[in-house]
Structure 1
Amino acid sequence: MAEYSIKRRQTHEKDRFTALKQQALADIQQLAGKRWTDYNLHDPGITLLEQLCFSLTELQYRCDFSMADLLSSPDGTIDFAALGLVSPEQILSCRPTTAADYRRYLLDQLPQLADIYLLPCAVSGLYRAVAVATQPDQPTAPLIAAIRRCYSAQRNLGEQLGQIDIIAPLHCEPVAELDVQSSADAVELLAEFYCCCRQLLQRSSARRSYSDLLAQGADYEQLFTGPLTPGGVLEHSESEQRQLHITDFFQPLQHIDGVIQLRQFHLRCAGQPCYDNLPLQQGLPVYYLALPDATQPPKVRLSMGNKTINIDWPAVVQRYQQKRFQQYSRWQTDIAALCPPPAGRYRASGRYHSVQALLPQNYGMQRPLAQSSPRQLQLKGYLLLFEQLLANFLAQLQQLPALFSPQHLTQSYYYQSLQDAGSRDVDALLYQDMNTTQAKLYQQLDDVLQRKHRLLDYLLALYGESLHQHSLQHFDYYHSAQSALLRRLQQKVSYLQQIVVMTKDRIAAPDHYAPLWRDAVGGFVRKQALLLDLAQTAQSLTTAVLQHKLRLRSDTDQLQQLYLDETSSNGVLLQQVPPLRIRYAADSRLLRHKLEDACCFDGNCLPEILLQTGIQLSNYRILLQQNRYQVLLKVPHSKQDEWWLVGSYRYYRRALIMANSLVLFLSHVSRASEGLHVIEHLLLMPEQSTAAELPAGFYSGHISILCPGWTARFADAGFQQLVTETLQMNCPAHLCCRVFFLDFAQMNRFERLFKYWRSALKADRHSADTERRALAQFIYRLQQPAEAADASAKAG
């Protein structure tokens, strides 16, 4: 009978408790060696030291819990989304990038598609598709529309799908004679024979499931290379296609279970016998296995010696269909179940047990307050100072999910009370309002924004990403210093919450089959909008002005100009406008009524310069003149003390409310108008390239990005340079990116042309020629001054 025992640990390393105690004794000897000479175990100081080392060992033990345990909630689950963590299949897979990727994606998304090939055209970025329908007799128009719609949803910037040809595959029928074993099931053998022939004929679209690849040793990085296709992974890429030879069929057919010898075999392709290479269509191996029908007997004969075996053909067809369904089912994979997220075990790591409860009984730490001596009370109070540090450390450990969560932005230091820690009479020893005092202290010392910035930088670094905001912080027109820091933090939170879009979809083009101004954005625009902290990405940029029935003007004729010296002592007193906390809603009728009283709104015309300078309350002054409180706005870059009269009021309170309301209104309109539109020139190419109205170089490899030039930030030359550099730096290297800043009238005209073109394109791409030509001419005229300026700069 075997004896079971615990093996002695063969190590010379000291345990944590011993190491801590020896280090503490060394420190004590160095600091108090002349006054404390007794370090024996009976010494009360050594007893306290041992209890402290034991408590620190417990802290270290809890820190060694697995990260899954520390992040688990009481029910054992981990909120990965709240922690900014995504699954491997989401972050490792990518959008279709090559022609082979698009082929794999389209075959997965469209069951009515048997095969498809994307062939590059002479124009860079333009593809021509050659497709084969699953049912050769089905109508081609719905299939072409489905291909375009599916491709548009995953299209990359500067790419387009041009002509789509639906070709009929070459019908192939095997002609064979097989010598089979006496024990072979003729129906099963013949069904397997036809399945094998079909797999060889359509080997270009053969697939393997993710679970099979994972079982064969593929890691996640290999498994999720390319686009995610739950319907299986293509075994052969487009570059591996080759012409089929009849000899390619011999070995697989010969190894079918029950086959003794393949006596004869060839294929009838398009009615003609093939004994060598199979013909190609447009250089592509596109074939279809034709099963014999009831009128024509199969051309495959099974024999057992000299005896021919009768075949139940309906049973063979039924078994063949079952095998095809089983094969299709094996390809399907539940991707979420393929990569199960780690699960943890909940640990109450924040629970603290008092050190005083572990001291020997003769210390009297567990005696009631009335029975404790003054020295015992003094020792209790002394130990509570250190115990509070230990308890707060455990509270910080317990709150790791909140600390690393991008959604918790109000606290980064955590603490807990000692009332439930096991010490007796804590309330009598501690300060009466200890919890409130501790909360105020932590609130003063907790620089939560700076600490959260560092934590979010760490989480972004897990994905190999970073978000630099040093240049952007110089253009915080709409925020105070404190709110700007919070805005930068929220920007990182949004980046982390959209990390899949920011990485995998960073070059995604707009989907022109999606609803206009809502989903037709694309990952490229979404990322640039977040990097530049733009208010919106999927809305018309002129809507913020037009919805208030306003018109922007570039002149300042409607503004009454005054000359006042703010620094002189001639009795003129210009008062600064203090900020008020007022309720604000951009669509409020009351607010609109207040603003109509302002003389700066003349016939619903709003000067652009007012929109750009009126967002800063520090630019306003109030002047009391002739018993009227006049609201003045500083003229920007004026050599003299020039002011614009914004409004005149009888009461001072109304003047204050009007100035603050105007700042809020103008800030809202200016910020809501900030965004960008991306125009890919390739999409504006005519159907017939020979009919191009514009130079050929205009279409291929060029995109134009249109930005508003009338808002507060976008009117700043420094911010325009930052926008241009950011967009060009993040644009794909093979595309030439030009950035234009339009005035309100130009942007309004562009958005009308763009809307007409998009609507016509969704209805019928062949009937959108007029709208396409008008939009192309608009973009081309925008480029002419820029090209002339570039040419003069190069000449200079």
Structure 2
Amino acid sequence: MDNKGYISKRKKGTSLYEELHKEALEILQKLSGEVWTDYNEHDPGVTLLENISYAITEVAHKAKLPIQDLLHSSKGEVLTSGDNGFFVASDILTTSPITFNDYRKLWIDLIPNVKNVWIYPVDDYEQELQNLKGLLHVFVEKYNYHSDPEKEVAENENIKAQITNIYHENRNLCEDLYGIEIFKPLSLAMQFRIVLTNEIDGEEALANILHTVNNFLAPEINYHSLDQLRKEGLSTNEIFNGPSLENGFIKDESLKDPLEVINLSDIIKVISKIKGVVNINYFSLSYINPETKKEQVIEENFKVPKNMTARAAFPSNNTNIIFENSEVSFHPNLTQTKKQLSFIQALDASKFKAASNSQNQIAIPEGKVQDINYHYPIRKQLPELYGVGDRGISASASPLRQAQAKQLKAYLLPFDQLIINFLAQLSNIYKLYDVHGNLDTSYFTNSLPDIQEILELIEPQDANFSIEETKRYWDIVTNDLNGFFDNKASQRLNKVADQLLVRYNESFQTYSLLKINTTSYQGVISEQVFKEYLLAVKQEFIRAYGGISYNRAKSFNYKIEETDFTLENYAEIPGVFKKIALLTGISELSYISVTEIIEELGILIHPQSIELDIIIQEIEIDTPELHIEIEEVSVVVEDDNTKENLFEAVHFVGKEYTVLNHVLKHGINADNYSIKRNREEDLYYILHRGETEKSTIVHISERREEAIEVVKKVIDFLLIVNQKSETFFVLEHTMLLPSFSEDYFGFELDLAELDSDLDLVLVHPNQKSLKARDKNIDDLIEGMLNNIVLYSVESITGAYRLSIRNERGEVLAISKNDSLTEFPLRNSIEKLKKSIVNFEKETIEEIVKCFVFYGTIPVDETFFSFRMSLMMPSWSVRFQNENFRKFFENTVYEELPIHIRSDLFWLSFNDVQIFESYYFKWLELLKIKNPDTAIQEEINEYAYELITIVQKLNAEA
């Protein structure tokens, strides 16, 4: 809007009031033009129209109040993140670490004395080896290193522990931490002769040189405030992209790679730019060689030894530190220099704190509390002459005039009630969008502000109500009327939830889930009830969306230190699995034993000859009335062996592996039950028809009412069992690996895949650690290609085998199959030498098979790389539905990261029981810190059992 220096005059007819008034007059003229010809302001009809138009204008004004005012007024208190599905930027835009840089930022931010961190994948992606993927090797650079070896070791172990804990709290799916190494310091000694200006002293200059050189060798990680990044032009999405940090924001470009080569000229160039330095007449840099332990002078450049960080050491003496000033040479005072250096470092620290203590959150707009419900009745706005205001009508007025005044009040009452109801809707907007409430209505009403003055108009005819009773009566009338129009509240509330979900580009496949519910539950759970259930699930999804979004790539923390690994704490479940569960209508996801839940609910599965029984113990549950006709018969045949038990419990009989599935599917339908009365014994027999037309006796009651009540309880109980059976287990194959540093790893190289004439398979001579095995493979391939390995045929007990050694005599590979004579092996050596030179290194790497050994049993390493298996119990009615299975599987594939292969398996009760027996014990053992050899072997045993289960399921699929 242009600032003209004055307020522009509003054009006539542009206000809402004028528009309403004009439009209403036009309507009046059309409807009553023949009987009402005067439309001036003194006309009562026009006066009424003006006041109603004004009242509507006031309502429109309130409807246009800022949303923060409406929500704050509606809630009655300050808004917080997550209210109505609105989250602050730090809650909804940040994520748990996904990239290597994300992890680096988090570790640098949270761990004291960690200056920088680097992450490298253990698998070299430039190689073609089919070995493990998703393992991270972490290298750490510290700010300060202790001169005391014991303190240094203790601090390093503490840093490693913190890195490990933070990693497992934020670990990505199907990834694991391979190892952590702390960079060792490499002290560089400086000698120089430097000319300074008159404005700077030698102590300050030396402190600046040490600080600047060290910042060049190992750059400081800079933090930034929200305000700084905004001024640089970064968008909110860019600023909050990544993990939530405690000390501000770190840019990706600040996370530089470690310095590998030091050029002397670069150091000199850095020093020359320091304030006060005029000329560098002489400069020398030296270090103590880690291998020879001798001093070595850097001539032009220097390659920093692996896993070391170069530091300019504070000089032990000033003999070779010379400054010149006005042709006067002098040595700086090292004590003063140390003070100056501390001051410079303190300044940097203060800058860091300034960034970390700044306001780095985007605040929620503060709303003003407005009296939205207030409404001044229309009748009180009319002139006193009308007799409907606060003064009322004169007592001396004729009965006709008094009646007319009452008629006008009654005429205006619906207008006021409608406006009050609209304002009630507006003032309840927070409740309407509140995902934390249990709202069952979408329309709202309120009491008239002047109700006490018009009681005679609203009290029932011939009723002798008190004032309070009349008010309550009118509230009932308006609420009933509101309920009549609000008969589709659930549908509208679902639309509200869908509108909230759209903001995050999320949606529920409501129609598909409704159809699946109908076919699965056979009408036992009505469509309306399921819609209400879905509404609650949607609201839970919106309520948890901040955490789901932040943790969408995060996996389980298997290192949590609770007494047992039950994960009943919903917060511990990764975001992606919460999301999958909610999108598929599973609202009570937990990672506890589902077979134990079944048993705790009172279901016992036990053998009875060839068949099995399910025993459902009686429970007290209120249920709706059932209409079951009771047929009287003279004889009922039952099994004498179970007759006594049938008085105490309910028995269902079925096939061993499917009995639970059939009972949950057919037992929830009342049409499958029948009750027969035996007149001779006066007993009531409850019969159930399962998947076949044949009915079996499941219970015997002594009274008719008791028999009907048992059927009710059984149906409701089975509905609970169905709901509590809906869960799934996640098995990340990476976590099944043994210790990477122990000798569990080997390989196989079938040379026939290179050349069909080479009938030779090479394998590892013995199992090694992961790192040693990979180096062994690399040495073998390089050695064969460059013909620097030694081939030999060795005699073993009753046979011969081929052996390949490096130049140091270490065995790199042996033949997998022994030979009765040495000739075939020598022939293979000659063929190998001739043909191997025709292949590229990458070609050979592609046919190498890497294995993890559990005892003597090998498992292909591709089994562990970015793979997971999901185990679902098959017995709940929805989980038995083929359409639901497809729906669930599609949801899993859509939500999980694309690089992860996921296999889904639907298991019977017995299979789940077997799986859980290994799964939960394995999880318990994983929590143990620094497990000894015996514990590690036990972990490996359970891991291998789980691997076997998955392999068997894959083979059967």
TM-score, with structure 1 as normaliser = 0.85
In structure 2, distance between residues paired with 1:331 and 1:363: 68
Q: Is the 8 A contact 2:605 2:613 kept in 1?
A: no
The residue aligned with 1:538 is 591
Q: Find the counterpart in structure 1 of residue 894 from structure 2.
A: 729
Identify if the C-alpha distance between structure 1 residues 455 and 301 changes in structure 2 by more than 3 Å, giving closer, same or farther. Answer: farther
State how 1:605-754 maps to structure 2 within 5 Å: 607-608=659-660, 609-626=662-679, 627-636=682-691, 638=692, 640=693, 642-686=694-738, 687=740, 688-690=744-746, 691-692=851-852, 693-754=858-919
Q: How many angstroms apart in 2 are the aligned matches of 1:5 and 1:391?
A: 41
| CA–CA distance in structure 1, aligned partners of residues 83 and 593 of structure 2 | 32
Aligned residue in 2 for 1:443: 483
Q: Percent identity?
A: 23
Find the aligned partners of 1:415 and 1:573 in 2 and give their Cα distance.
61
* Structure 1 residues 118 and 80, CA gap change in structure 2 (3 angstroms): closer
Counterpart-to-counterpart distance in 1, 2:113 and 2:309:
15
Q: In the alignment, does 2:547 pair up with 1:522?
A: no
Higher-Rg member (1/2)? 2
Q: What CA distance in whole angstroms lies between the structure 2 residues aligned with 1:185 and 1:11?
A: 74
Partner of 1:580: none
- Residue equivalent to 1:54: 54
Measured in 1, the distance between the counterparts of 2:110 and 2:611 equals: 59
The residue type equivalent to 2:611 in the other structure is D
Q: How much does 1:101 deviate?
A: 1.8
What residue is the counterpart of 1:584 in the other structure?
none
Equivalent position to 1:362, from 382, 385, 391: 385
Secondary structure of the structure 1 residue equivalent to 2:483: helix
Mapped contact 2:918–2:945 kept (Cα < 8 A): no
**C-alpha deviations, 1:210-252, integer Å up to 9, x for none?**
4432454433212112222223444436576665544545565
Q: Describe the superposition over 1:464-511 as per-residue Cα deviations: whole angstroms up to 9, x where unpaired.
A: 222223222234448444332221111001100110233332232111
Cα deviation 1:330-349 (Å, max 9, x = unaligned): 342466x5322210111101
Cα distance, 1:544 vs structure 2? 0.4
Task: Specify the code of the residue in structure 2 equivalent to 1:499.
Answer: Y
Distance (Å, rounded) in 2 between the aligned partners of 1:66 and 1:339? 18
| Residue 134 (structure 2) aligns with | 125
**Residue 393 of structure 1: CA displacement?**
1.2
**Alpha carbons 1:204, 1:241 under 8 Å: kept:** no
- Any residues of structure 2 matched to 1:306-321 within 5 Å, and which? 306-308=328-330, 309-311=332-334, 312-321=336-345
The Cα offsets for residues 342-392 of structure 1, whole Å up to 9 and x where unpaired, read as: 101111011000122222232222243655622222112111121211121
Distance 1:393 1:281, change over 3 A: farther
Paired residues for 1:398-413 under 5 Å: 398-406=427-435, 407-413=437-443
Query: Are 2:646 and 1:557 aligned?
Result: no
Structure 2 unaligned regions, length at least 5: 124-131, 146-151, 289-294, 461-472, 615-626, 636-644, 747-850, 853-857
- Aligned-partner residue type, residue 683 of structure 2: R
- SS of match in other structure, 1:326: helix
Partner of 2:943, secondary structure, is helix
2:325 partner letter = M
Verify: 1:383 aligned to 2:412, yes or no. Answer: yes
Q: Is the 8 A contact 1:630 1:648 kept in 2?
A: yes
Structure 2 partner of 1:585: none
Is the 1:552–1:606 Cα contact (8 Å) retained in structure 2?
Answer: no
1:338 aligned counterpart, secondary structure: coil
Conserved? CA contact 1:600–1:646, under 8 Å: yes
Describe the SS at the equivalent of 2:85: coil
> Paired residue for 2:370?
347
State how far apart, in whole Å, the 2-side matches of 1:776 and 1:485 are. 44
Matches within 5 A, 1:401-550: 401-406=430-435, 407-418=437-448, 420-421=449-450, 425-432=453-460, 433-446=473-486, 447-476=488-517, 477=521, 479-514=525-560, 515=562, 516-518=565-567, 521-534=573-586, 535-547=588-600
Q: Report what 2:642 is aligned to.
A: none
TM-superposed CA distance for 1:680, in Å, is: 1.5
> For residues 112-168 of structure 1, what are the alpha-carbon distances to aligned partners after superposition, in whole Å with 9 as ceiling and x for unaligned?
433221112333322222233445433444433332222111111122222333331
Deviates more, 1:508-517 or 1:368-377: 368-377
Q: CA shift at 1:34, angstroms?
A: 3.6
Distance 1:785 1:463, change over 3 A: closer
**Higher mean C-alpha displacement, 624-633 vs 9-18:** 9-18
1:454 Cα offset (Å): 1.0
Partner of 1:85: 86
Whether contact under 8 Å (2:113, 2:144) holds in the other structure is yes
Native 8 Å contact 1:207 1:232 kept in 2: yes
Distance 1:408 1:559 in 2: 40
> Structure 1 residues 595, 360: CA separation in 2 closer, same or farther (over 3 Å shift)?
farther
CA 78–599 in structure 1, closer or farther in 2 if over 3 Å, else same: closer
2:950 alignment partner in structure 1: 782
Q: Secondary structure at the residue paired with 2:905?
A: strand
Distance 1:329 1:781, change over 3 A: same
CA distance, structure 2, for counterparts of residue 573 and residue 435 of structure 1: 59
Check the 8 A contact 1:232/1:332 in 2, yes or no.
yes
* Whole-angstrom distance in 2 between the partners of 1:440 and 1:620: 39
Mapped to 1, the partners of 2:321 and 2:719 lie a distance apart of: 80
CA separation in 1, counterparts of 2:374 and 2:628?
64
Rounded Cα–Cα distance in structure 1 between residues aligned with 2:163 and 2:916: 28
Deviations 1:295-349 (A, max 9, x none): 54486544432152545244235424523532442342466x5322210111101
* Matched residue SS, 2:115: strand
User: In the alignment, does 2:356 pair up with 1:332?
Assistant: yes
Change (3 A) 1:723 1:316: same
What is the CA-CA distance between 1:409 and the residue it aligns to?
1.4
**RMSD between superposed Cα atoms in Å:** 3.6
The structure-2 alpha-carbon separation of the partners of 1:290 and 1:212, relative to structure 1 and needing over 3 Å to count, comes to farther
Which of 153, 169, 176 in structure 2 is aligned with 1:138? Answer: 153
How far apart, CA to CA, are the structure 1 residues paired with 2:419 and 2:629? 63
Say if 1:107 and 1:115, in contact at 8 Å, map to a contact too. yes
Alignment partners' CA distance in 2, 1:93 and 1:249 = 39
> Retained in 1: the 8 A contact 2:878–2:884?
yes
Deviates more, 1:64-73 or 1:94-103: 94-103
The answer for the alignment partner of 1:792 in structure 2 is: none
Tell me the secondary structure at the aligned position of residue 208 of structure 1. coil
1:467 partner letter: F
User: What amino acid is the match of 1:684?
Assistant: L
The residue type paired with residue 943 of structure 2 is: L
Q: Is the 8 A contact 1:525 1:537 kept in 2?
A: no
- Contact (CA 8 Å) 1:705, 1:738: kept in 2 or not? yes
Task: Tell me what 1:72 maps to.
Answer: 72
